[in-house]
Structure 1
């Protein structure tokens, strides 16, 4: 059983846009294991900033909505400037990610001498295809098919927001794509910088709340547009 004392060198980075309904519980649950959390309130129009503050996380506010890529970059810059920060985690604000997966991914990162470990819904004993809604699964696998770099790196789930990485990656990460295309940009950086990468199976919690926010047609179109962009990297 892990305690916060085991992870004082680890920072969770949570990009947040209009997640006031759930962000406090997400942070409070994560803080049971990870004491260092920075949440970037990306110009939310709801009470996300108040909920983040009440949950006890470090709060950074964007005055306007800049997109998830920009929020992640802001969070990385904040976390890497903190004394003792050695490991970094990108973690979604909507409750889909699980702390147990972060712990397992950190263990893999350290044991395998990797620079970055990314989560995948399409590997491991469960073969999580059944876990992912059909339309989402088709879209995600199409993105991988469209990206030669993703395939070359052996990655099966380029749009999984759960990633853990070391200081090398944190200090070399400089995302310029503010929206959803940051996912393909990260894949490109892995190849360009020569970061040692691995995947780890994760369980995504598709709740009614997260499905209502993340499974829309527009979301799928955006991911496919990102896949077309990925053909260039």
Structure 2
């Protein structure tokens, strides 16, 4: 998307950013993202540092959880807040640690508009530049295959946090899985909605910082096990 195309749509878009102890990077992430997305709500999930204050000072709206509930709970709070208090046409789920690219989010919204899609899911495996290690790639692709079987959706990346949700898709989400298993629950609920969708190639920028904050391989294996045996 070029420098002017799609600005009207981004004005109708809200980014939902779960936030937990990201004081090192959150001001930079918000500052750079606001250049293209003027509406950002960060859900501070009981951070013990100054993440919420820094996000607010950088220009984001901040909603606070008094205690840490987990990323799924933070996402649901953000989705509920946007649906209740704004007229947003689109919601974008966006990570606080700098892994996601604004250019990818813009391209996904442009595609949703052009193809009349209710939701667009980011996939790191369609971009041809997967920075994750071999074992993590195996776990992620395995989760995607199991999710595809369970939902009937042909997925290559079921646990990518960059998603574009049109308002009708956002209204179909009601997360009860507060921790990392929420990503599988989102897929299940979106699949059940029957809405039009697509996957879109994105790049996840893994840094030493984001790796230190990221989901452990063991946690990914636990999610795969739960997914396979149908407990999610």
Calculate the TM-score normalised by the size of structure 2. 0.92
Q: Contact 1:14–1:37 at 8 Å: present in 2 too?
A: yes
After superposition, residues 51-130 of structure 1 pair within 5 angstroms as 51-124=54-127, 127-129=128-130
Superimposed CA distance per residue, residues 4-58 of structure 1 (whole angstroms, 9 cap, x where no aligned partner):
9532100000001111100111011100000000000001111111111111100
1:142 corresponds to: 142
Q: Contact 2:123–2:202 at 8 Å: present in 1 too?
A: yes
Report the aligned-residue RMSD. Answer: 1.7
| Residues 1:10 and 2:9 aligned together | no
2:217 to 207, 216, 220: 220
1:47 to 50, 57, 74: 50
Which ranges of structure 1 fall in alignment gaps of 5 or more residues? none
Superimposed CA distance per residue, residues 157-188 of structure 1 (whole angstroms, 9 cap, x where no aligned partner):
11100000111111221111101001100111
- Residue 112 of structure 1 and its aligned partner are, at CA, apart by 1.2
Q: Contact 2:181–2:223 at 8 Å: present in 1 too?
A: yes
Which ranges of structure 2 fall in alignment gaps of 5 or more residues? none
Distance across 2 between alignment mates of 1:66 and 1:10: 25
1:190 corresponds to: 190
Indicate the SS of the match to 1:59. Answer: strand
Aligned residues: 227
Measured at CA, do residues 93 and 150 of structure 1 come closer, stay the same or move farther in structure 2, by a change above 3 Å? Answer: farther
